[in-house]
Amino acid sequence: MHHFGGLMPHGQCMLWSPGLLVLHVLSDLVIGLSYFAIPLSLWAVVRRDPEMRAMRLFMAFIFLCGLTHLWSIYTTWVPAYYLEGMFKAATAIVSLWTAMVFPGVVKAYVKNQTREELEATRRSLEAEKSVLENALEGVIRLDAEGNLSQVNGAFARL
């Protein structure tokens, strides 16, 4: 353990309580695998439509969120916190980028929608909003002038 600077794994903080370990590990596993399934499902649509480049950014954001959850499982036993921090930093960068790009993409997309398409878009945006609000990673959105315009709950708790 000396190569981790004397840091202890997360499991030690939980006193290696089996119930607590199972709760955290299984939750992170299900969340992580779900986060991987979302971009895989979206890829079937995105690869056929070159106009959906911004969706690839959203897919990267979701994928990185999944990676941070799976890495949390690893740090339950191995205190590799610097690498975990790098994964979180990458997720933060892509999260911020996605949050900045998506309002413009949505605005352009909505301009050309029929009423039924607008309703479908609204439902989709509500689902995406729910994903962002329930994300464990903090996400912020800036307006065109660089002013803070929105934060999710995880960012507000930082």
Per-residue pLDDT of the chain (158 residues; tens, 9 = 90+): 446 778 999 899 899 999 999 999 999 999 999 999 999 988 888 888 777 778 888 899 999 999 999 999 999 999 999 999 999 999 999 999 999 988 887 777 767 667 777 788 888 888 888 877 788 888 887 888 888 887 888 888 77
Domain ranges of the chain: 2-156
φ, ψ of residue 16 to 5 degrees: the values are: 55, 30
The two three-digit tokens of residue 44, written as one number: 């079937």
The position carrying tokens 């992580």 is 32
Q: Which residues contact 156 (CB under 8 A, 6 or more apart)?
A: 138
The two three-digit tokens of residue 78, written as one number: 């191995």
